[in-house]
Homo-oligomer: A and B are copies of this chain.
Amino acid sequence: MAEKQLQNAPYFESVNKVSYNKGANNALAFKYYNPDEMIGDKTMKQHLRFSVAYWHTFTADGTDPFGAATMERPWDRFTGMDLAKARVEAAFELFEKLDVPFFAFHDRDIAPEGRTLRETNQNLDTIINMIKEYMDTSNVNLLWNTANMFTHPRFVHGAATSCNANVFAFAAAQVKKGLDTAKELGAENYVFWGGREGYETLLNTDLKLELDNLARFMHMAVDYAKEIGFTGQFLIEPKPKEPTKHQYDTDAATTIAFLKQYGLDNHFKLNLEANHATLAGHTFEHELRVARVHGLLGSVDANQGDTLLGWDTDEFPTDIYSTTLAMYEILKNGGLGSGGLNFDAKVRRASFEPVDLIEAHIAGMDAFARGLKVAHKIIEDKVFDNVIDDRYRSYKEGIGLEIVEGRANFHSLEQYIIDKEAIKNESGRQERLKSILNQYILEV
């Protein structure tokens, strides 16, 4: 059988299973990620729920707007369905060597398109079966799958928001298959990222119809999931722009608004990406906080951007400030539930050797492991909790309590304040707090 013929593993021949070895001068060891170490009442592995992104790691080739493929991938000696199979082999080899519990994919990452959707789905089925076999004999689970509805030229004007009803229909059929796949593989979530659900110019755009259609599409997805008994969490991933001029799911606040307006907020949570946050002008922790306070923080695309560049660089996350503040929000959220930390990150185009894939994941996993420990300790020590309790204490008594409990109005407040000569504020102490954050990051 083809599978047997493809048994060309290992693809990462020079790499053994990566283990924790703190002080090591060894690029192929974890320095901070110690999977079984308890942090509070869970292990690091349980907290972090790492996931490998199939597209960046097994499908991407290093192409950029000015350059051709650079990536050297041992599986690239195959083509067509053989290539698709070889990638599965390579993927599970990498999952195992990194000991990551999850992975995620778009439909088109794992199998090539055919002439019709029917043929495409047949290709998919072959690979899904193969993946299922691998999953059955490993500890790796599917964090989420999604439908790529932005690469093929048919989606040039969008998918659910295309001006062309045939494209809407195609997208619907594609997500239907995606939900079947999710159920088949036991995906914990199903994700929507609307790469071209937006517009290029308002001059030719019926914005209202497009938004309505987007909502119609999502309701159909919810209905179908219910019908087939898929119980995973629906997630929607905001991004403000790129590839489009404007993308409807701009940021957490905008996406939450969309969900509420169209009655979808009981069915969806957010999958938040660091680089998408910065493209929207927000910090990553801001987006996580907004989702958290709305009870809609679902999952995370773990990466980082370069805030001096204006596009989605999707770098592996190595900034400890960012991983610490992200883990802070996640711990405060009681974890991510069915979500996880999916490395929606790609090695740089110039990091084209296979071993870079391993080293990049180690870099990201270590950065989040350290962030987890720091954040946990900060919470344990009530560092910011105490600051906030003290800072807002005026709302716990007197006029403040009346405000919060709805017993105040403009009359009572005016009467209270109109003859007071001065109001005393207290410093926000931002510099002290940043210094304490440094101390925790460096000393934990």
Contacts and interface: CB of A to CB of B under 8 A. Distances in A.
Given A153-B425, A154-B422, 15 more contacts: A62-B153, A163-B394, A169-B399, A169-B403, A179-B410, A201-B428, A201-B433, A207-B289, A216-B406, A224-B411, A257-B260, A281-B281, A320-B442, A352-B425, A363-B432
A395 interface: yes
B319 A246 contact: no
The 6 lowest CB-CB distance pairs between A and B, nearest first, are A310-B310, A257-B257, A165-B400, A350-B428, A173-B414, A172-B413
Nearest to A323: B438
B387 A206 contact: no
A350 B200 contact: yes
A391 interface: yes
A220 B70 contact: no
Nearest to A381: B25
Contacts of A308: 241, 245, 278, 281-283, 307
Contacts of A96: none
A240 interface: yes
Nearest to A325: B202
A124 to B, nearest CB: 13
Contacts of A436: 27
Contacts of A426: 164, 353
A137 interface: no
Interface in A131-182: 150-157, 162-170, 172-173, 175-177, 179
Interface in A407-444: 408-411, 413-414, 416-439, 441-443
A413 B409 CA distance: 54
